[in-house]
């Protein structure tokens, strides 16, 4: 069972602190660099071809996406902006396998999503995609640790292994001292960091974030964006972020704009 790049990345960090951890850190670095190399400009991890998505409302057809093409290189951090109602969330949901296009092909993380059944798609999502939403979506009656553990309940990992991974994910987001807190006992920024821990606990290749800083004050938003930058640079996660906030978009390495059903 792989320990995942999150743990390898942590070992890398230990290296920079020197001392006894340095050997293990160097080994993890070598392993990480050789294997999961995912620098921006590499092969595409998302390829959308002639994607259209329309919704039917009564007799009216709303054409949201119209023949859209998109390539996202593995390892990039992309921001998607555009007017409200332009279809940003619709596009993000198609990339993440939460929604299907009306026509067109989506190839994501090496799989052609259009050919999968709903069950296959759900399994694929749980292995490949981490989700971050504007409203955190934490379950109020579960502690931070239990919320982070949720995606792991769909796997065959032992309880001990799950606990280890939960602790690692919460350490990455700097909340190891809040494991037993309930969402109502956390600030908004902390809640979003728990949600980020939940998004990375399965070690997904791609993280999709739909307005992740929309409900946060500037300082908490900046902390969340710094964390996302770190997930991209240090842990080589490909990140696709929808945002209305120009300051957030600036932190990404690629800025895209969606308008009138097409990428500008």
Ligand X SMILES: Nc1ncnc2c1ncn2[C@@H]1O[C@H](COP(=O)(O)OP(=O)(O)OP(=O)(O)O)[C@@H](O)[C@H]1O
CA neighbor of 201 nearest in space, from 168, 155, 233, 179: 168
Q: Say how far residue 70 (Cα) sits from the centre of its chain.
A: 18
CB of 68 to ligand X, least distance (A): 12
Regarding 243 and contact with Mg ion (CB under 5 A), the answer is no
Residue 174's binding partner among ligand X, Mg ion, none (Cβ under 5 to 8 angstroms by kind) is none
Longest dimension (CA), the chain: 69
- Between residues 64 and 208, which has the closer beta carbon with respect to ligand X? 64
Residue count, binding to Mg ion (CB under 5 A)? 1
CB of 100 to Mg ion, least distance (A): 18
- For residue 110, the tally of other CB atoms under 10 A from its CB is 10
Residues 1 to 60 in contact with Mg ion, rule: CB under 5 A: none
CB of 165 to Mg ion, least distance (A): 30
CB of 90 to ligand X, least distance (A): 3
- Between residues 5 and 89, which has the closer beta carbon with respect to Mg ion? 89
Buried b (16+ CB within 10 A) or exposed e, 204-224: bbbbbbbbbbbbbeeebbbbb
φ, ψ dihedrals at 5, nearest 5° = -70, -20
* Footprint of ligand X (CB under 6 A): 55, 57, 62, 64, 82, 84-90
The SS3 call for residue 130 is strand
Q: Which two tokens stand for residue 79?
A: 């921001």
What residues contact 20, with CB distance under 8 A and at least 6 apart? Answer: none
Residue 75's binding partner among Mg ion, ligand X, none (Cβ under 5 to 8 angstroms by kind) is none
- Between residues 108 and 186, which has the closer beta carbon with respect to ligand X? 108
- Between residues 89 and 143, which has the closer beta carbon with respect to ligand X? 89
- Between residues 203 and 211, which has the closer beta carbon with respect to ligand X? 211
CB of 220 to ligand X, least distance (A): 20
The span of 69-77, 82-90, 124-132, 150-158 binding Mg ion (CB under 5 A) equals 82-90
Near Mg ion by CB under 5 A: residue from 5, 89, 134, 220? 89
CB of 76 to Mg ion, least distance (A): 21
Alpha helix segments (H runs only) across the chain? 4-16, 22-35, 88-95, 118-128, 144-149, 159-172, 188-200, 218-233, 246-251
- Between residues 164 and 257, which has the closer beta carbon with respect to ligand X? 257
- Between residues 5 and 90, which has the closer beta carbon with respect to ligand X? 90
What residue has token string 């409203």?
135
Residues 224, 237, 147, 161, Cα dihedral to 10°? -140
* Contacting residues toward Mg ion, per CB under 5 A: 89
């Amino acid at each position: 069972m792989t320990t995942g790049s999150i743990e390898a990345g942590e070992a890398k960090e230990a290296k920079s602190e020197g001392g006894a951890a340095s050997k293990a850190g160097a080994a993890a670095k070598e392993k990480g660099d050789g294997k999961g190399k995912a620098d921006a400009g590499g092969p595409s991890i998302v390829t959308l071809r002639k994607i259209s998505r329309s919704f039917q409302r009564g007799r009216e057809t709303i054409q949201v996406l119209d023949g859209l093409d998109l390539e996202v290189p593995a390892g990039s951090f992309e921001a998607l902006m555009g007017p409200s109602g332009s279809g940003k969330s619709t596009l993000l949901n198609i990339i993440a396998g939460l929604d299907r296009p009306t026509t067109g092909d989506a190839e994501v993380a090496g799989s052609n999503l259009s050919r999968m059944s709903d069950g296959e798609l759900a399994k694929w999502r749980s292995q490949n995609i981490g989700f971050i939403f504007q409203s955190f979506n934490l379950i109020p009656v579960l502690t931070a640790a239990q919320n982070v553990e949720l995606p792991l309940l769909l796997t065959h990992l032992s309880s001990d292994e799950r606990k280890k991974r939960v602790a690692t994910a919460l350490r990455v987001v700097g909340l190891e001292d809040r494991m037993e807190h309930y969402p109502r006992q956390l600030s908004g920024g902390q809640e979003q960091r728990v949600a980020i821990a939940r998004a990375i606990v399965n070690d997904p290749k791609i993280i999709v974030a739909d307005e992740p800083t929309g409900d946060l004050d500037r300082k908490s938003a900046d902390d969340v964006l710094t964390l996302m930058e770190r997930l991209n640079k240090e842990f080589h996660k490909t990140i696709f972020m929808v945002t209305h906030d120009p300051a957030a978009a600036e932190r990404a390495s690629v800025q895209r704009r969606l308008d009138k059903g097409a990428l500008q």
